[in-house]
Amino acid sequence: MKKDNKVFLKHIFESINFIEKYTKSFTKTQFLKNIQLQDAVTRRLEIIGEAVKYLPDELKKKHPLIPWKKIAGTRDILIHEYFGADFDLIWKVVKQELPKLKKQTKEILDKI
């Protein structure tokens, strides 16, 4: 059974909400020392990347400002090169990129 695009967009949006909740009271230094938090955030980033892969090209082309390939690529790195995860970079993504993606995802969800 094929899932509706809205389901995948909700997975992205909800995962961002979880990451925000997880990291809300942590500094970068605390994040870099907390393996459990790193694991939780990494898992949610994997879910975001996987959900992006299920979105049709048609939807992605309608929203070219979202770096779809980069998001999916991040998931691949986290899954296949887990031993080389750059948690400084992950923190930067969490604090700088995810708020933008959350806003963009919400705008798409509101339209469909």
Q: Tell me the C-alpha to C-alpha distance, in Å, between residue 26 and each of 20, 101, 102.
A: 10, 21, 20
How is residue 1 annotated by DSSP? -
Q: Would you call 75 a catalytic residue per the annotation? A: yes
Name the active-site residue from 75, 78, 90, 105. Answer: 75
**3-state SS string for 63-87:** CCCCCHHHHHHHHHHHHHCHHHCCH
Active site residue ranges: 75
